[in-house]
Structures are given as structure tokens and as C-alpha cells.
Amino acid sequence: MAQRSIGIIMNGVTGRMGYRQHLVRSVLALRDEGGVRLRGGERVQVRPLLVGRDSAKLAELARRHDIADWTTDLDAALGDDQWDVYADFLVTKARVAALLRAIAAGKAVYTEKPTAETVPEALELAALAQEAGVPNGVVHDKLYLPGMRKLARLVRSGFFGRILSVRGEFGYWVFEGDGQPAQRPSWNYRAEDGGGIVVDMFPHWNYVLENLFGEVRSVYARAVTHIPTRFEENGASYSATADDAAYAIFELDGGVVAQLNSSWAVRVNRKELVEFQVDGTHGSAVAGLFGCRAQHRTGTPRPVWNPDLADAHDYGADWSEVPDNEVFENGFRVQWEEFVRHVVDGDPHPYDLLAGARGVRLAEAGLESSRTGARVELPPLEAPRVALANGAAK
Ligand SMILES: NC(=O)c1ccc[n+]([C@@H]2O[C@H](COP(=O)([O-])OP(=O)(O)OC[C@H]3O[C@@H](n4cnc5c(N)ncnc54)[C@H](O)[C@@H]3O)[C@@H](O)[C@H]2O)c1
């Protein structure tokens, strides 16, 4: 019997995320292992088609990784029924137009976040995908980080009792580009090119908060541009028109208060580039990308405020590491496997374009709050739920 396969149009594979996380760490890693294992134990092989604007770059990538198919003609790829899935890792600005074409062509779609630059566009994508009956998914990678999975384990076990608050610190220093090259593409710092830390990070915060603690019901945010001038790789300066830090308070369903700082202008003084502290009546935890340490109420020290006496207590020693207890694969790859099973077997995949639209809305509301100084309420987002579709793979 011929092996089943699923054809995946991969648009934007010359970019940072498209190349490293989606192509190399996910689709090629799965291909080299023989494909995605389905519920019944059988495998479906993944077949990538590289799409982009620069044929020389695509040809070189295809050669380097032994990939048979590449093209600069997206419409021809979308019109060819050997390809089942359209996957999008383009700059955010170029995303909606490409996704609309893919949905119209009846392809399953899988995309990086944010799904769109505006809420109406994000909702339109969700509604059109539902109408067309195409499976759709949006990257929720932070949920798959080992630290977040351990935190989710604690939440689900009831470890925290009643969860009171979440405080998160995300960020690191992104070099301005003079002297030392910046670690991120320059469009990230130009609002007119779809940049900004709110647009970049709030979609992540939305799915982290709603999947671990409760849907976001309101946001108050202050977004600022701390570094107004940055430098391209060729040394030319440019005006950083987008926010590079955001200080925000989110209120969640059930009354949890989450306060998250996001910044590309902060020097790291914590164990990991992101850390969330969760406090509950019965226990607390601090989770990062990889680690998660917890403190139960029975192990909580009794600090006494005394400005006259230096405090020798080692508060860090009061926390215990949550063990891995499982092997954590690359999160992008795990989500790709889930999405392929969703397309082929109809397994549930709740991280869809409507979830993506909620992320876009949180970013938009955060920027509105920053502009007006007001707290912005977020009623449940009404849009048609997306139907599951079976059998797109051959
Ligand atoms: N999930 C995550 O953790 C994460 C992290 C970083 C970025 N992202 C998202 O991934 C996407 C890509 O970000 P990146 O950092 O890889 O950017 P990048 O600049 O490295 O790559 C962008 C890709 O889009 C292509 N492109 C640029 N302009 C285009 C246009 N006008 N038309 C068609 N193609 C165009 C480029 O050739 C390149 O292949 C963004 O939407 C970003 O928000 C997600």
C-alpha cells in the first residue's frame, strides 16, 4: 500500500520563524522520521513545497535540505490539489491577503500569529474558513514550552487552590544595531511595517492566559517607545515608530488579575527570558521557558518586615523544582503534529483562527488603552465556530 502523505505549501521559509522553527525543526524533522503518527498508529508523511519571492534562495534551501518542490508562484501552488495545507510565516503585513487566497482555494490553513493587523480582518478570516469548511490553526507555541506545560500540570491538579494573580516578565535587551547587530528584524520596530511589541506579544499573552487561567475580560496597558532610533545592518539609522515596551494589567474570567511587562529594552535579571509567577491560596509557582518551581502553603516561610535588621533568609531556597517527568519535544513541531492529525483524522484543534482573532483583539485593545489611558473591556468575541473537516490528506 502506498504511504499516505500530506502536501504542505510553506510560504515564508526564508524568514527567521519559517526556516528555523517551521521548516527545519518541525516539517523536515517529521519528514526525516517518516511522518506524523496518527491515532491508529499509521504514519502520514509530510511533503513540503517551498514558496517565496526569491527563486535563488528557494533553490538553495531546497538543495540544502533535499526538498523536491519549490516555486515562486503561490497561485499555481494553491490551484494544485496535490497540496493540502497552506502554511504562512510571512511578515504580518502580507499575511491576510495570502490566507484569503488559500481559504478561497479550499486549502487547510496554518499560520503564525498575529493572524491579521485588525480585528475585522482576523474575524473575517475565521468566518471565511468556517464557511469554506477548511481546517485552520494558529501557532500557540508558548503553551508547548516545558515550563508552561509544567505550570499547566500544576493548574490542572488544583495545586494553587484559588488562583489570585499572575505576574509576568518578558524581555531582554535588543541591540540598537550600532556597534552590535540587532537580534531581531528591523520591521519589528516600525509601526508602518506591522512592528511593535504589543502586536507581537499580546497575541501570545492572550492564548497563554485563556488556556491556563481564564479568558481576558479587560486590559489596561501603557505602550512606549523607549529607543526612538535604531540602525539597519548596513549602518543606516531609522526611526523606531513602534512600541518596544508595554506594561499591562489584564483581568480574567473568574477574577484572576494578570500583570505582564513586555520589553525589548530591559536587561535580564531573572532565570529565563520569560517568567510568570502565579500565586494562589494553596500554593505559588514561577514558570519560565524550561523550568518551573513551586512553593506549597505548608512550605511558605514567615517573613517579617524589619528595616533595622538585614534579612539572611534565602527565599530562593524555599522553592522546589517541578520535575520534567516526560520528554518535551520542540513546541512548534508538537503543534504541527497535532494540526496534521486535525486535518487528516479530524482530531480537535482548538487553536484556530477565532482564537487567533482574540489575540489580535487583545493587541488592538492594548494599543487603544495606551492611547486613551482607559481600561478596555473585552466581551466574549462572537464569531462562528470553525467546523472540523476530515480527509484532506491522500
Ligand atoms: N511564534 C513566535 O514565537 C514568533 C516569533 C517571531 C515572529 N513570529 C511571527 O512570524 C512572522 C514572521 O516573522 P519573522 O521574525 O520570521 O520575520 P522575517 O522578516 O525573518 O521573515 C519574514 C518572511 O516574509 C517574507 N516577506 C517579507 N515581506 C514580504 C512581502 N511583502 N510579501 C511576501 N513575503 C514577504 C520574507 O521574505 C521572509 O521569508 C511574523 O508574523 C511574526 O509575528 C512569531
Q: How do residues 334-361 score in pLDDT, each as one tens digit?
A: 999 999 999 999 999 999 999 999 999 9
Report the separation in Å between the CA atom of 95 and the middle of ligand 1, taken as the mean of its atom positions. 9
- pLDDT the model gives residue 367: 98
The type of residue at 42 is: E
List Cβ neighbours of 158 (8 Å cut-off, separation of 6 or more). 282
* Contact 88 CB / ligand 1 (< 6 Å): no
Please, what's the b/e burial string for 146-159 (b: 16 or more CB within 10 A of its CB; e: otherwise)? bbbbbbbebbeeeb
CB 95, CB 138: distance < 8 Å: no
Tell me how far apart the alpha carbons of residues 190 and 188 are, in angstroms, rounded to a whole number.
6
The type of residue at 74 is: L
Asked if the model's pLDDT at residue 388 lies above 60, the reply is no
* Contact 7 CB / ligand 1 (< 6 Å): no
Note the maximum CA span of the chain. Answer: 79
Report the separation in Å between the CA atom of 15 and the middle of ligand 1, taken as the mean of its atom positions. 5
* Contact 15 CB / ligand 1 (< 6 Å): yes
**Coil vs helix vs strand at 180:** coil
Q: Which CATH superfamily is domain 4-141+330-351 in?
A: NAD(P)-binding Rossmann-like Domain (3.40.50.720)
- pLDDT the model gives residue 233: 84
Mean pLDDT of 213-236: 96
- pLDDT the model gives residue 383: 63
Please choose, from the candidates 140, 68, 129, the residue with its C-alpha nearest in 3D space to the C-alpha of residue 102.
Answer: 129
Tell me how far apart the alpha carbons of residues 277 and 270 are, in angstroms, rounded to a whole number.
12
Tallying the residues shown for the chain, one arrives at: 394
Tell me how far apart the alpha carbons of residues 135 and 389 are, in angstroms, rounded to a whole number.
6
CA distances from 101 to 7, 127, 140, 144 (A): 17, 14, 23, 29
Q: What are the residue ranges spanned by the domains of the chain?
A: 4-141+330-351, 143-321
Supply 88's cell numbers: 504562512
Neighbour-count burial of 107, counting CB atoms closer than 10 A to its CB (0-12 exposed, 13-18 middle, 19+ buried): buried
CA distances from 204 to 17, 349, 360 (A): 15, 17, 10
Mean pLDDT of 51-69: 98
Q: What are phi and psi of 132, to 5 degrees?
A: -80, -10
**CATH classification number, 143-321, choose in 3.90.420.10, 3.30.360.10, 3.40.91.10, 3.40.50.300:** 3.30.360.10
Please identify, by atom number, the ligand 1 atom nearest to the C-alpha of residue 18: 16
Please, what's the b/e burial string for 192-217 (b: 16 or more CB within 10 A of its CB; e: otherwise)? ebbbbbbbbbbbbbbbbbbbbbbebb
* Contact 200 CB / ligand 1 (< 6 Å): yes
Report the separation in Å between the CA atom of 285 and the middle of ligand 1, taken as the mean of its atom positions. 33
pLDDT tens, 190-219? 999 999 999 999 999 999 999 999 999 999
Asked if the model's pLDDT at residue 387 lies above 80, the reply is no
Looking at the DSSP assignment, which residues form a beta bridge with residue 110? 87, 137
- pLDDT the model gives residue 250: 98
Mean pLDDT of 158-183: 97
- pLDDT the model gives residue 43: 97
CA distances from 21 to 1, 207, 355 (A): 32, 19, 21
Q: Which among 11, 13, 91 is the best mutation to test ligand 1's pocket, defined by most ligand atoms within 8 Å of the CB?
A: 91
Please choose, from the candidates 328, 325, 344, 198, the residue with its C-alpha nearest in 3D space to the C-alpha of residue 264.
Answer: 198
- Of 32-36, 149-153, 256-260, 379-383, the range with the lowest mean pLDDT is 379-383
Report the separation in Å between the CA atom of 191 and the middle of ligand 1, taken as the mean of its atom positions. 15
